[in-house]
Amino acid sequence: MDLFYSSTRSSEVKVKASEAILKGLADDGGLFAPERIPAMDKSLKELAAMDYKQVAYEVMKLFLTDFTEEELRSCIDKAYDSKFDTDEIAPLVKADGAYYLELFHGATIAFKDMALSILPHLLTTSARKNNVKNDIVILTATSGDTGKAALAGFADVPGTKIIVFYPKNGVSPIQEKQMVTQKGDNTFVVGIKGNFDDAQTGVKNMFNNKELAQTLDAAGFQFSSANSINIGRLVPQIVYYVYAYTRLLGDGEIAADETINVVVPTGNFGNILAAYYAKNMGLPIGRLICASNENKVLYDFFESGTYDKNREFVLTTSPSMDILISSNLERLIYKIAGMDAKANKKFMDSLKTDGKYSITDDMKKELADFYGNYASEAETAGIIKAIYEDTGYVIDTHTAVAAKVYKKYVQDTKDTTKAVIASTASPFKFTRSVMDAIDKAKYDAMSDFELVDELSKIANVVVPQAIEDIRTAPVRHDRVCDKTEMEATVRDILGV
Ligand SMILES: *Cc1c(COP(=O)(O)O)cnc(C)c1O
């Protein structure tokens, strides 16, 4: 049965999956949401006998119903290949009384690789299906991590180019090195003299520039974004949870139909929303445990029913979760408002004007599947050290937030249902914070690369290729422009 997507802000919009992927965001500013959550049509036992790619196909085909089998399998094959350093793509590791689902074995050793590896192929396939002849130009402003993951995903994908702007003096030296060494003839990385907001404003202005769009069209190009609200990034994430569950089943760790809990370190609410969709597809998930760092706007929301972004923004050691507006939460609000676009729009308008909104009591009841909590900076460091000392397993700072919140959950609820913790980054990506947590006095004076070698030794894990690349790879991008010259730079790159 065909599945359509409608806007979370108006009921008139109804598009196919490929159109939703191409557009990213609905014209009314809403997100595309599936008009229903499809039920799984293979048994968990059947899925347990499949590998990651096969499970991905079985899940994604139910959401991307206008893709042919051949198209979808081709996208999956191109995405989940030797770019990942393990055959399992997402290995499950048992440690400290939980199962860690390692989502960081891709090109940039963080979980955004999982979706950004396949998005370029979903996007170019969607373009073909909708008779778009232009090359797709991905335009992104980044404060570090997403830019690199997008570059790695789009590098050398035929029919695409990617241009990434970053604040020249506003990212870490390692993040900059990762981006400026990016391979691929279709990749372009530009440092701007300005901050992240300048970069983002510049990109937004180009997206809204009709004259520029016409010039591009005449030259055979059109802009698109790799934004995390695209359903082409959301749907591939549902696979994680179906895969994790069926591995547990296949390995005899759980009985048939046994319920599991999942714990997700959360920022933009994409990953945990995918887990919620998996539950709604029929996967036996009990509680969805939403873990925040000190930017605990989601914890407060689950406690009180009021989402309030009016607060101080805290810089933490889990920077990918330093977010005050969790964009993907809108899809949950829409769903628990009974898919009432008008009601949802009211909440979002109020978020825009007042920075907050409060949901109704009936909606609050719909949140019983969720449990929210947060970990302070000291708790995050403490749990990294404790798990390392007890088990030898080393986790990154984001995963540590989830590990700590899971402990709080068990303490609060006495619920000892088996739990899968989404492990969203390799500890090698946040080496300094991780090593400081383990023994600051010992490691404080060491250089970043000394720490990498030390981590490899104590964790007994080889240094990932992504880190070796930064050590040795030559710089391939040295463009710098003023924040007022971004459009001119894009024109220059594209020759228009
Ligand atoms: C982006 C990110 C998160 C947050 O994921 P959301 O889907 O935005 O909630 C958590 N951990 C890491 C390492 C990330 O890069």
Residue 112 near ligand 1, beta carbon < 6 Å = yes
**Ligand 1 site, residue 268, Cβ cutoff 6 A:** yes
CA of 1 from ligand 1 middle (Å) equals: 32
What is the C-alpha to C-alpha distance for residues 66 and 477, in angstroms, rounded to an integer?
38
Atom 1 of ligand 1, nearest CA residue: 320
One digit per residue, the tens of pLDDT, for the chain of length 496 reads 899 999 999 989 899 999 999 999 898 989 999 999 999 999 999 999 999 999 999 999 999 999 999 999 999 999 999 999 999 999 999 999 999 999 999 999 999 999 999 999 999 999 999 999 999 999 999 877 788 999 999 999 999 999 999 999 888 777 888 899 999 999 999 999 988 888 888 998 998 899 999 999 999 999 988 888 899 999 999 999 999 999 999 999 999 999 999 999 999 999 999 999 999 999 999 999 999 999 999 999 999 999 999 999 898 999 889 889 899 999 999 999 999 999 999 999 999 999 999 999 999 999 999 999 999 999 999 999 999 999 999 999 999 999 999 999 999 999 999 999 999 999 999 999 999 999 999 999 999 899 999 999 999 999 999 999 888 899 999 999 999 999 999 999 999 9
Residue nearest to atom 11 of ligand 1 (CA): 424
Chain centre distance of CA 356: 24
Length of the chain: 496
Is 112 annotated as catalytic? yes
Burial category of 76 from C-beta neighbours within 10 Å (exposed 0-12, middle 13-18, buried 19 and up) = buried
Rounded to whole angstroms, the Cα distance separating 294 from 296 reads: 5
Give the Å distances, CA to CA, from 42 to 260, 282, 412.
Answer: 19, 11, 36
Q: How far apart are CA 475 and CA 183, in angstroms?
A: 9
431 CA from centroid of ligand 1 (Å): 17
Parallel, antiparallel or unpaired: strands 356-358 and 306-308: antiparallel
**7 ligand 1 Cβ < 6 A:** no
Closest C-alpha to ligand 1, atom 2 = 320
Ligand 1 lined by 265 (C-beta under 6 Å): yes
Give the predicted TM-score (pTM) of the model.
0.95
Question: What is the number of the ligand 1 atom nearest to the C-alpha of 269?
Answer: 9
Options 112, 161, 279, 296, the catalytic residue: 112
Backbone angles phi, psi at 306, to 5 degrees: -110, 125
